[in-house]
Amino acid sequence: MMERQPIRPAIRLLHLDVLRGFALFGILLVNFEWFTRSTQAMLLGSATDMGGLDGLAARSIVWLAESKFFPLFSMLFGMGFALMMDRAQAAGRPFVGTYVRRLLALAVFGLCHIAFVWSGDILFMYALIAFLMLLFFRKTPTRRLYKWAIACWLFPLIVTAGFAAMSSLLPEDHEVRLETVEAMQAGYEALLVRIEYGERIHQHGSFPENVGQRIRDFAVLSRELSFFWIPMVLGYFLFGRWLLESGIMMNPEQHAARLRRWQVWGLAIGLPTALVADPLLREAHHMLPDGRLVLGLMLYLGASIALSLAYLAIVTRHAERLRFLAPAGRMALTHYLLQSLFWITIFYGYGFGAWGRIPRAMQVLLTLIFFAAQVGLSHVWMKRHRYGPMEWVWRAMTHLRWPV
């Protein structure tokens, strides 16, 4: 098994910047739906009950993009951890204190994003989970990182499967089963009420009312999804570290055959698996775990990992041709926040009030147009500056000095 490879201390890896730019596009494509829906509705899954072009667009995003780009972005976050740690060690600089400040700054960005812009934030969760990685896995040998990643991915699925299996063994009229079903059904009905209320606030409420609603939305999502999201994201972080420390993403030209295999097998396995998982999850009751939901989640995870690796392999192998994405990748934090700020202003009632007026197919077109504008803006900005605006602030908060 490959051990950690030495990392050159002061280079910019083009393919990682290109990958960030590519992932940024996919994240906007998926998030666009939730800029004009209550984020609490994430607990029920994406809306696919549409026909025509809107239905085709919605289903295509579920099959090809949903939970396929955030794993890629998370792996890149893990690679960034590995780069920072190795470069700090090579230069004889302290790492832990610097990285803790980096995460604290990211948490501040995330909290501000949640309260003042959009509750579907990922930055605050990244900061918290990266603390766990720093605390428990900083010294984990390279050869074990991918094994821990797999364990993290499987843990919530195994627990959910066990719960569903135990529930199915009880007679339908058993008191415990009846009470569990009743509690979950009550929770489901309460969720529908909260979703409807939240959407009214987003459509017609004032900015302060929306701040309160965003905080409530994030609290609910954190409570309901943390059991799945924390181990899943931690697994992607660790897998990203393995990709870099093993040399695969540090020197991809030396691992071209492996990347080609990931591209072929990732698409061959990921696409049909995503197609099978979709109807299982749509027909299952997300608030009442059963065998169908468990199987759907397992296939969904498999498709997410397979397709994200296929995308990683494709983009890495063709990074030189896709280098136009690199400036956007270098400004990923700025553009991630800008995407939320712009579209929330367009959709919410205290902005331009376009909530619910843009069909799903049109959202795809607007994603392409908006992201193209972001790429163009990135080229202009990076010709004059070393860092994006928010990257500059993040670096200043991390190193406690003005970047030059």
Coil/strand/helix, residue 157? helix
- 6 occurs within a structural domain: no
- The set of residues, in sequence order, having a beta carbon less than 8 Å from that of 368 and lying 6+ positions away, is none
Selected residue with higher pLDDT from 157 and 232: 232
- 324 occurs within a structural domain: yes
Phi first, then psi: what are they for 156, rounded to 5°? -65, -30
Give per-residue pLDDT as tens, 45-78: 887 778 899 999 999 999 999 999 999 999 999 9
pLDDT over 70 (residue 169) = no
- 370 occurs within a structural domain: yes
Give the chain's domain count: 1
Give per-residue pLDDT as tens, 7-42: 544 567 899 999 999 999 999 999 999 999 999 999
pTM tops 0.75, yes or no: yes
Give per-residue pLDDT as tens, 26-35: 999 999 999 9
Residue 143: which domain range?
14-399
Residue from 290, 253, 242 nearest 78 by CA: 242
Please say whether the beta carbons of 135 and 227 come within 8 A. no
Give per-residue pLDDT as tens, 66-118: 999 999 999 999 999 999 998 888 888 889 999 999 999 999 999 999 999 99
Please, is 377 exposed, middle or buried when counting C-beta atoms within 10 Å of its C-beta (0-12, 13-18, 19+)? middle
- 250 occurs within a structural domain: yes
Q: What is the pLDDT of residue 46?
A: 82
Q: What is the pLDDT of residue 1?
A: 44
- 279 occurs within a structural domain: yes
Token pair for 335: 């553009």
Amino acid at 340: S
| Cβ count within 10 A of residue 288 | 15
- 9 occurs within a structural domain: no
- 4 occurs within a structural domain: no
Q: What angle do CA 22, 239, 71 make, to 5 degrees?
A: 35
How far apart CA 228 and CA 44 sit, in angstroms, is 14
**H or E, element range at 171:** none
Supply the angle between the helices 207-245 and 69-91 in degrees, to the nearest 10: 60
Token pair for 95: 């790492």
Share of the chain above pLDDT 90, in %: 75
- 5 occurs within a structural domain: no
Coil/strand/helix, residue 27? helix
pLDDT over 80 (residue 297) = yes
pLDDT over 80 (residue 131) = yes
The tokens 């991915």 sit on which residue?
153
Please say whether the beta carbons of 75 and 240 come within 8 A. yes
